[in-house]
Every structure is written in C-alpha cells, then in structure tokens.
Chain A
Amino acid sequence: MKRGPSASHARFTRARALLDHHRAVTNGMTPERYRQTGDIYLAALELDADRRAAFLDTACAGDDALREEVESLLASDQEAGDFISTSALDAMAGELAKDDKITASGTTFRHYLILSLLGTGGMAEVYLAEDVRLKRKVALKLLPAAFTQDVDSVRRFEQEARTVSALNHPNIVTIYDIGRFDNRQYIATELIAGQTLRDHMALGLTLQQVLDIAIQVSSALTAAHTAGVVHRDIKPENIMLRPDGYVKVLDFGLAKLADNELRRDGEDRLAAKRFSTAAGIVLGTTGYMSPEQARGERVDARTDIFSLGVLLYEMIAGRGPFAAPTMADTIAAILAREPTPLRQLAPTVPAALERIVSKALTKLREGRYQSAMELLVDLKNLNLELELVSKMKRGGQLDVQSDFDPTTKRFTTTLDTDGFTSLLADPSSASTAFKQMLEPVGGAVPLDSGFYVARPTDEKFRAAITRQDSIVLVKGARQVGKTSLLARGLEQARRSGAQVVLTDLQNISADSLESLDKLCITFADCFADQLDLEVAPSDVWKPNRGPVTNFEQYLRREVLINVTLPIVWALDEVDRLFTCAFGSEIFGLFRSWHNKRALDPAGPWRRLTLAIAYATEAHLFITDLNQSPFNVGTRLLLEDFTFEQVDELNHLYRSPLKDKPEVARYFRLVSGHPYLVRRGLYEMVTNGLDLSALEAQADHDEGPFGDHLRRMLFSLSQDQDLCDVVRGLLRGKPGPTPESFYRLRSAGLVLGDSARDARLRCQLYATYFERHLL
C-alpha cells in the first residue's frame, strides 16, 4: 500500500477497466472492515495532528493494516483539494458544449428521422431511425467527426463496406446506405432484433450454441475474405444474435478507419499508437487482438481467425485466453503466453474443438488455419459429429457407425459411451462435413456455401433487377446454378425494397397444367399468396373472359395498381412450359407485357420485372423464336466455367485432380459444363477415384453422369433432324445447317463460332453419343 503524498494532480491518461478496479478494491476489504476504518478515520479527523498518533495507537490496537488504511485515508483527505467539489455537470460542461452530436429524438438527419439512441460504442453512436423515403426502420450509426476527416480512408472504408454488403451474406449485416451529411459520416444498416454476443455470453452458452455461432461467424468471414475484406475487430460486441437464431457480424472495416486516423506514417500498420498511454484508450478491446496486431504488423485474413479463436475460447471457458489485470499484461500474454488448456477450464469440451481453438490461436500465422473456409469445414464437421452422437444416444445405439465405402480415404468415428470423445481422421482426408457441403450438386447451392463460384452473371443479374428491366432471362444448361443465381438476385431485389413473387414450375402440380385456365389461376394464386392480397383470384375470375385476360386483369388491378413498390416475378424451371400445351399462350402473354411497356413507359407494367430461368437444353424444343419472350429482354447466359475456374474448384474440392495436366484432361472430358464439372469432382472425392478411374466410368449409363447423358439423349432423339446432324458431326462430315447448328449450340451440345467449325462440346458427349447414335 502506498503512503505519502501522491504526485499532485497528475494527469489522467486513461480510464481503467471496471474489473481491475473491483478486484483491486475488494482485495481484503469488506463492508464491516470499511465501517471500522471509517469510524476511526472520522474520529481521528476531529483531533489535532499531535493527538492523532496517540489516538490511532489505541484505536488500531496493533492492527497495522487497519492503521495504514486510516492513515492513507487521512492523507488523501488532505490532498483532495477540489476533488469533486464541483458538480459532474460542471466538469463536463466544456465538453458538452463542444459536442457535435445530434441526440434529440424527433430530429431529422438527412432522410432519417431519429427515434432514439440505441447505444454508444467506443467510436460511434447508433440511433434507431426511420428512413422516411422507404418507410423502414434502420440502425443509423454516426461516426465521430474526428475519425472521418481523411477523405482517402473514408473512401476506402466506404468501398469495403459496400463490397462486404454486396455479398448479401446472411451472416453479414446489410448496409443500406453510407455517406456523409452535415460533415458527419453515417452508415444506415438493417436493424437487428436481439442482443450482442457479449450479452448472451453473460447468460451462458451451451456447446451447441457455441458451435452454431462459430459456424455462422466463420461463414461470414469466409465470404468477406473472399471479397478481400478483413474485419480486424472480431469481438463479442460486434456480433449480434437474432431471436430466430441468425448471427450477424457488424462493423467490417470500421476498425481500419479508426486506425487510419491514428496513423501518421501512411503504412498499413496498426501502430503502437493504438494502445500507447499517450493516445489513451485502446480502440477496440485488447483481449481479441492478434500477435501481429499487437506488434503493429500487417493484418490479413488469419488475423480474423485468431480473434475468432479468442472468441471461441471465451465462449467455452467463460473467460478469455489472455485475460490479465492490465492492458500491458494482456498484450504480453498474447505475444508470449500459451493459454490455459481449455480442458482445464471446461472438462467436457470435445477434443476436436480444443484442437480447433488451439490451431486458431497459434501465434505464428503460418501455423493457423490459412483460411476461414478451412476453419468452417472443421467446425461443421464437428457439428455433424455431435448431431450424430446425440441421435445415436437418443436411438440407443452406441456402437461405431460408418457409412462410407472402404477406400483409402475412409472416415472413422469412435465414440465413448460417455459421449463426445471422438477421433477425427486427418483433416486432409474427406470428412463428413466436407462431403455434406458437396451434397448440393444438382440442387441449389446454399447462399452461404463456400462452393458458390461467383461469376460475372451475378452482377449483371442484380443490375438488371435493380434497373427493373421488363424481362430478364437466365439461361443455362440444366443444373448449372440458375436457381442459385435467381435466389441471390431475388434476395437483392427484396433488400432494395421490391416485392418478389417466386413461381417454381417444377413444383406446380400436374393438374394445374391440364388447362390454360387452371394454369392462369395457379399463377394468380402465387401472387395472391406471396403478396398477401385481400382479393383472391377466384373472387374476380369471370368465366366468360379468357383465362389469360382474367390473369392479366387480376395482375393489373390487384397488384400493379395497388402495390407501389416494384414487383419481380421470378419463374424457375420454365422449360416445363415448353412441353405443356399452353406454353405458347403464356409466352405470348409475357411478350405482350414487354410490348405494352414499350408503348407506355409510365404505365403499370413498368413496375413488373419478369425473371425467367430456363434450361439451355430447352432450345431443342423452341422452334419459333418470335412467339416467345426468349429473344427479347435482358439475356444472361450462365457461362461455362473457364479453365481457371475449374482449377479453382478442384482446389476447393481438395484436389482430386493431382496436377494441371490432369485438370486439362478433365476439362477436355467435361468442358466447363457447370454441372458436369462439379458432379465429376464430387464423385472423385467421395469415392476416392482418380481421374483414370472416373474416365473409365464416365460414359456409362449407370455412371456418375448417367442421368444427365440419358436426358440429353432423350431430348435429342425427339428431333430426328438434329440427330442426323449430330451423327454427321461424329462421323466428321461437314457442317450442319445454320439453323440446326444454332439450336444445338443453344442447347449446349455443340461448340463453335459458326456452323463451319461445329464440334461436340466435350469428350464425354462425343463418346456417349457415338455409342448410342452410330
């Protein structure tokens, strides 16, 4: 305990953490002791200095600690001076007067009506506000003027924020608007119901919750890193949990903005200024900082992984891996100390999870997970395993279950009767989670899948939707990712305030296709259901009017005129209409809307955008293009994968193709056909085949591509002329007619710039059709 005069009125340089304070204060001090101390102090205060010593001798009666306490209090009283002699308001009046905050609710900030203050972080105030144009509530974040003076950093920050938001990732908070007003930088984001992870951690988390949160955060990081953005400040305060279970990560790139302002040397370093005593408060919480950040080195994706590791540790153990009494100690721990093994703090933690956290917390970057994707796979793997265990526990089975082919890459699980001890195979072999992630080949790739390879068409699609084009056609070979593209585009549309109606023609019941009337009612019902319209189609359907007219009237009166927002009607699997008798009527209708709009740009049809996804192969059936909407509107062709993209996918699938020559061979086999490429890679990974083995089975009817090939053959054989053309090509005979060439190319069967250099699209098709047509 220190005695004697303290340095008179030394300047404060930072505020101390509450925890430190309480710990220091309550060390040994209890209310009773405090009262005892206080009584003696007060009595001593009444006495003259010379009589005090004697009094203290008696009163403290040999209790040296007590005496020291009293004496230090007496000394403190002497030196207190004008300590808290004026009111707090007085103390802060100067700062208050200088403040440039807007806080009064009812004020407007640009086009936002401030409703209330949601909270203040270290760097910004967040308000609940309403966007008066769009009539929706947002979280409006206002950054302190101090941080936003450097135009360059602000621009870079805006760019990054937009990039991240454009990902439309379910676990990344959506940014609606970003800009500057009244010399203040603002960000309007979606309002998230729920609380921060920090709040939830206080309540305690189960293992399942921990995993779920970690998976969602990793997923967000994977997406952001792919877009080139590092978060830099992953911590519980930046993560929100919605009541419906969704986790949202906030504030990508904000930390960088703050650091930019502190930087003077223009290098991308988190300078020591970040936590120098002179600079004062540490921006962000020290505890989540990575070693490279602590040292002021460059950050990269692995930095976020470290912070996520810290987060995981804390969620599991209840305290951080580097918790220490002071900031300096914390930093020292981050740099040099290994955290207490998780097992000691949480004995029921699965060994695999402990290993995952350990790997994420490796001090040397090269030793960590090199990408958020790898971490995500391991986490998902573990999650699946835990589900398996709990299922088995419920079902009463406790023996080993293995459902994989006995190949060299078998995955083994060993389970304890006590529960969660398990041995994971070497992560470099195919694991369950990995395979599950591969599963959706042939179905839509989930929005958060790391396997969705973004292509330029995504942007074009989104742009077309935003522009409210009349018709947007998404054409691609079957199973090529149209539905995924559609889903992403529709998300975008929804977020920008459009109403979306989705009709999946694959899901329409067969009797809806029996008559044109039933079909039109089905379509109208889609609108009624999804837009929650009061007037049902059956209410206003007039039997003496044609079904198409009824539908059009319904659409015009109940939807386009009443609803003021733009409408996107998305039709998926439209090829089904080709084989139905009324397809041409429906297509004619679409075509007429397009024409109506051209004639009357201000009319109600302006607000309707048709997004139509159909399969390339359907071109085999389209004989008269002029009747269809397929030669008007914005056309987006889902391109084949390029060689580089196939190479990338191979890498993502953990390289079943061993080297570039093999990738080239594979590319010759299936070309860049998005479905075939994935299907083949999946097959190789799950069955442990190498390329030669795959090639051997490739063109078999029961082989991995069997379904696809059979369907192609069937479609082709509906048209004898086209069959002849293909036969001719296989025999090396010269060119098809331009018309048949065009149809075959549109259907994805042949390649070439013109009929003269027509050739079969890939080796696989050549081999297969040779066998079946010749």
Chain B
Amino acid sequence: MDAPSQKQITQMLVDWGNGDQAALEKLTPLVYSELHRLARRYMGRERPGHTLQTSALVNEAYIRLIDWKNIHWQNRAHFFAVSAQLMRRILVDFARSRNYAKRGGAARKVSLEEATVISREKGAELVALDDALDSLARLDDRQSRVVELRFFGGLELEEIAEVMKISVGTVRRDWSLARAWLHRELSRARESE
C-alpha cells in the first residue's frame, strides 16, 4: 500500500478512536480490502500440513495498514485497543454476512476444500464468540478486553500486559478464565440446539 493511504487510514483510525463514527464507515472498506489481499497471499502459500503463522499474519496486517512512525508512544495502548476493535468488527461482520452461505449438504457443486469447510464453521463460531464476548464484558470488562486484544488484535501476552498496564501474570489469569468461560458458553449454545 502506498504511503498516503497509510496516513489516511491511520488518521481515520485515530478519529474513530476519538469517537468519530463516520470515520468507521470510510475505514472499513479500506481495511477490509487489505485483509482480503493479505488472506489471499497466505492461502496461496499454504501447503497441506503447514500451519499458518498467525501472529505474523495479524502483525503484517497492522504493519501494512498503519503508519507506525507517526503513532506516538503514549497513544499506543489506545491505538491497539482501537485497532483490535476494528479488526473484530470487520471480521465478525464478515463472518455474519457469510452465514447465508451455509448449505444443508450435497446440493451445490461448490468445491469444498477442507480449509473452506473449517473456515465456514469458524465463521459461525466467530459470530457466537462475538456475542459471548459482549456478555463477558458485562461480567468482567478487563477480561473481555484481554480476549479482544489477543484474539482479534493478535497481541502476545507480554504486549497486552504492556498496553493495558497490568502484570503478565494478571493477563495470563484473565486469559485462562475468560477462555474457559467462553468455551463453556459456546459449548452450551451448541448443545441446546
């Protein structure tokens, strides 16, 4: 991506973080198309059995999007929070909009590569997770933010600790509990169908 767009995106992100809802509208399609491009490259490289370097994927997403040099150090925490939220919103919306694509089985001649099947299931899981995360936020806001930063933002535990200004141990514990709770909620949702 060329430098000027990067600047624009960064500015829009900042604006959105400061409460400008209109910035989100402009931001979303740009970010989305970047993610799209990224995903294409990674899927192209994938060999059977080769697992994706996921943190690298997310990092690259941010590196390419954001004009790092111009993000001030003290804004970094806020910035990461905002970009994680953005990622969450875009991916969840995307997952929701893909849900129509579910089919009962044999009828269509779409080629179902395994990765695609798994992705589709993950799409549904993502949507359910998003809902569950909202519920979690009502019980413990910090835990939901940890999950958001890690799962959507791709940050490592140490980075999260730094950004949220808590100890790594706290982050670890929050993550463990939140994860257990979320997993349980999602399992229960599945079972009650």
Residues of A in contact with B (beta carbons under 8 Å apart): 2, 6-7, 10-16, 18, 21-22, 24-26, 29-31, 34-35, 38, 41-42, 45, 72-77, 79-80, 83-84, 86-99, 101, 103-105, 114, 116-118, 120, 122-123, 125, 144, 146-147, 258, 264, 273, 276-281, 283, 326
Contacts and interface: CB of A to CB of B under 8 A. Distances in A.
B189 A21 contact: yes
B97 A122 contact: yes
Given A73-B181, A90-B54, A278 B104 contact: yes
30 contacts: A6-B187, A10-B191, A12-B124, A12-B125, A12-B128, A21-B131, A21-B132, A24-B185, A31-B139, A38-B140, A72-B184, A73-B180, A74-B180, A88-B87, A92-B94, A94-B115, A94-B119, A95-B98, A95-B119, A95-B122, A97-B42, A97-B43, A97-B44, A99-B98, A116-B26, A120-B96, A122-B96, A125-B97, A146-B100, A280-B102
B107 A281 contact: no
A93 B119 contact: yes
A144 to B, nearest CB: 6
Contacts of B181: 73, 76
Contact of B116 (A41, A95, A103): A95
Contact of B100 (A6, A95, A96, A122): A122
A76 B184 contact: yes
B124 A14 contact: yes
A88 B97 CA distance: 16
A84 B126 CA distance: 9
Contacts of A15: 96, 99, 124, 127-128, 131
Pairs of residues from A and B, 10 with the lowest C-beta to C-beta distance, nearest first: A280-B102, A94-B119, A96-B39, A278-B104, A76-B184, A90-B54, A104-B33, A15-B127, A97-B43, A91-B122
A35 B187 CA distance: 21
B165 interface: no
Interface stretch (B13-21, B66-74, B146-154): B146-154
B167 interface: no
A419 to B, nearest CB: 40
A45 B154 contact: no
A264 B108 CA distance: 11
B96 A105 contact: no
Interface of B: 25-26, 28-30, 32-33, 35-36, 38-40, 42-44, 52, 54-55, 57-58, 61, 87-88, 91, 93-105, 107, 113, 115-116, 118-129, 131-132, 134-135, 138-140, 147, 150-152, 154, 173, 176-177, 179-193
A144 B177 contact: no
Contacts of A279: 102-104
Nearest to B44: A97
Contact of A25 (B95, B135, B187): B135
B91 A42 contact: no
Contacts of B105: 278
A42 B173 contact: yes
B187 A26 contact: no
Contacts of A30: 139
Nearest to A16: B189
A502 to B, nearest CB: 38
B179 A84 contact: yes
A31 B97 contact: no
Nearest to B114: A94
B7 to A, nearest CB: 16
Contacts of A283: 100
A18 B134 CA distance: 9
B187 to A, nearest CB: 4
B25 A117 contact: yes
Contacts of B147: 84
A13 B103 CA distance: 10
A96 B125 contact: no
Contact of B55 (A26, A87, A94): A87
A18 B183 contact: no
A93 B43 contact: yes
B188 A24 contact: yes
Contacts of B35: 89, 96
A281 B135 CA distance: 21
Contacts of B179: 77, 80, 83-84
Contact of B190 (A12, A96, A144): A12
A91 B135 contact: no
A6 B91 contact: no
Contact of A77 (B97, B180, B186): B180
Most B CB contacts (10 A, CB to CB) among A74, A80, A122, A276 go to A80
A26 to B, nearest CB: 7
B126 A88 contact: yes
Contact of A97 (B40, B98, B140): B40
Nearest to B172: A42
A6 B185 CA distance: 11
Nearest to A21: B131
Contact of A281 (B38, B100, B119, B152): B100
Given A80-B179, A117-B28, A122-B100, A89 B135 contact: no
Contact of A16 (B29, B98, B107, B128): B128
B126 A104 contact: no
A87 to B, nearest CB: 5
Nearest to B185: A25
B5 to A, nearest CB: 10
Contacts of B173: 42
Contacts of B127: 15
A86 B54 contact: yes
A41 B100 CA distance: 38
Contact of A95 (B94, B154, B183, B191): B94
Nearest to A42: B173
A11 B119 CA distance: 12
Contacts of A24: 185, 188-189
Contact of B193 (A14, A89, A98, A117): A14
B180 A105 contact: no
Contacts of B192: 326
A92 B97 contact: no
